Structure 1
């Protein structure tokens, strides 16, 4: 039975970030170049292997500007920054698989079938925590629905939102909001490695924090060229 958005699912973490395996889940339209592109409203997702390289990834999505993310996928899908944190011992490791999703207005099927099935994919993986990103405003609602389902399986999650109104109204368990960032720039601009790293670290810090479910941290960053 679906949970009311007024009830926010919340799983307290049971280990530190440095001991935890993290997965990425995104509704920004990320997929492998050799996978079928997303078709709007079909609610299919793509399994993204943990050992993929960024040059194997592309974006299929017509509802937000992803020109910068096309240059640097880490703007919306911070796999390189996550690997760097793992190499430094700041997180326990990278999950063996991640999930990508495209644009949908088929919300009933999302809530009843797709989101629970995606949550099961994560539950059956090595993940101890999940970092969620989204593209357009509706994609933030979709991402939050998936995030809530993952949380209900017992895995704590955090979203990096650029549309906090959608994320909050949909009942995300945890989130951070880089203020004044636009869709397609959840972690900043292309090749802004230091900024991307800081935002990702703050998301993990929010993941670790024991605060009231639904709390969105409002954070300010300086977007300088590197």
Structure 2
């Protein structure tokens, strides 16, 4: 598209130069021309300057295309999607309990290649169709009640879960993982069950979520 626009600009510039030359050619000098002829000469000079700019744009476009090809060669032309996040980016404490199911918003971003994870919503959105790997952990810190229950969900459907419903114990941790296919636009998140909590320490990152694209389809 950019090449086409530059080519059109170049063709228009050449046309105006040709017209200007035809009009001004019979004249000996601009001082002897009529005011209209002088105006055409000025336009012709402006078009000549425009052609120089078009030439510069062509040079820059060629360099950009070369850089893109080199980048594709480095990554093998394959999309790169990977992220890893922790629940809290400062302090420590429980998240929850809530009266209804609530997506966890992981604020501490370790990595977010491809920018598919949104820390404002806690939702990962697939921008590439493919097979993905997800792993999530949760921690319950010295809480006898309520307990901790989290779900990994794809488009609102439960994929996997981690539960801590034991009585009389504390400082429990658990994790789970899944390999799932995603279409472009599919959403994945971790959801906290109503009336339960999860604990995190920003310095230890005990409650986390990670995922990456295994291969596109």
TM-score between both structures, scaled by the size of structure 1: 0.23
In our comparison, the structure showing a higher alpha carbon Rg is 2
TM-score, normalisation: structure 2: 0.23
